[in-house]
Amino acid sequence: MLLPSVSMQLLDFLLQGNTFPRRSLSLIPMKDADCFCTVTQSLWSASPDPGGGWKPRPLCCPGALAAGALRITRSAGARGRAAASPAARGEPAAALGRREGPIGWLRAGPARCGAELAQQPQVRMVEAWYMDESGEDQRAPHRQEPHRPVSLEQLRRLGVFHWKLDADNYETDPDLARIRKEKNYSWMDIITIHKDKLPNYQDKIKIFYEEHLHLDDEIRYILEGSGYFDVRDKDDKWIRIFMEKGDMITLPAGIYHRFTLDENNYVKAMRLFVGEPVWTAYNRPADHFPARGQYIQFLAQAAQ
């Protein structure tokens, strides 16, 4: 068991994004490490750090963890497990909170004290991968062989941001309200994409899947169902992003992208916008728009 002063040093070390040896287990106890509230989170880079370790990603601010503990382990698939303990035995674990942006989110619920740990639902982060070039059904996953996953950090470098929210309570969700206030998403509506719900369904599906860009950010929040957003990377390769209930994503102005349903053929999504919505899509080629030039500059800066 580490002393609190040492623990805080290690916590600072972790939150600064430093690298731990591959075979290490970092246990950062604060007050009581017998009660844990566990969640699963993609804490690590998609590949080992060049220095020989795995690169943890900071998930929460130090204040959110000051009353608890954080345990990080490395496991298969470049994923980690975090466990947060309550401030004192017998008290429910405080929520660590959600962090918007490319890192994703981490939330702790109540935990039992004693030897038996609470069974918490696992948090499934948004999944993305490089697409194959087959011409089969656009609704298929289109994973390459071998599979080439894309991390949240890689998406961030493309300007693509992700949140995981409570879609069951979107009307009263304080996290959604906070995001809308911070980002000035003043306009909102809900669209259902299904053959029995959307007029001109077949034509709309074809339009959505045409490669295009917008002059403003595109914000979508999946309330029900699932589908795929495809985005171009800096080398013009397609990355497929699987979106399901609770996933919220922002695509930057100027990025070439497209959307399709998956094989479930149904999605209900919230559309958000800053001010009055402008739905115009400009099919590729559309490189002459200033928004495209600004996005290219962003990619160059992100690569430095």
Binding-site residue positions for Fe(2+): 212, 214, 218, 257
State the Cα–Cα distance between residues 268 and 192, nearest whole angstrom. Answer: 4
Can you say which residues are annotated as belonging to the binding site?
Answer: 212, 214, 218, 257
Q: What is the 3-state secondary structure (H, E, C) of 194-225?
A: CCCCCCCHHHHHHHHCCCEECCCCEEEEEEEE
Write the DSSP assignment of 95-151 as a string of letters: P-----STT----------SSSPP-PPPP---EEEEB----S-TTS--B-SS--EE-
B/e letters for 92-103, b = 16+ CB within 10 Å, e = fewer, are bbbebbbbbebb
**Binding-site entries for Ni(2+):** 212, 214, 218, 257
Q: Which residues contact 197 (CB under 8 A, 6 or more apart)?
A: none
Let me know: does 270 contact 188? Beta carbons within 8 Å.
yes
Give the integer Cα–Cα distance in Å for 49 and 166: 33
**Cα torsion through 47, 53, 54, 59, rounded to 10:** -140
- Strand 70-75's sheet: what is its strand order? 26-28, 70-75, 79-84, 37-41
Task: Choose among 266, 187, 263, 256: nearest CA to 222.
Answer: 266
Question: Per-residue b/e over 277-291, b at no fewer than 16 CB within 10 Å?
Answer: eeeebbeeebeeeeb
SS3 269: strand
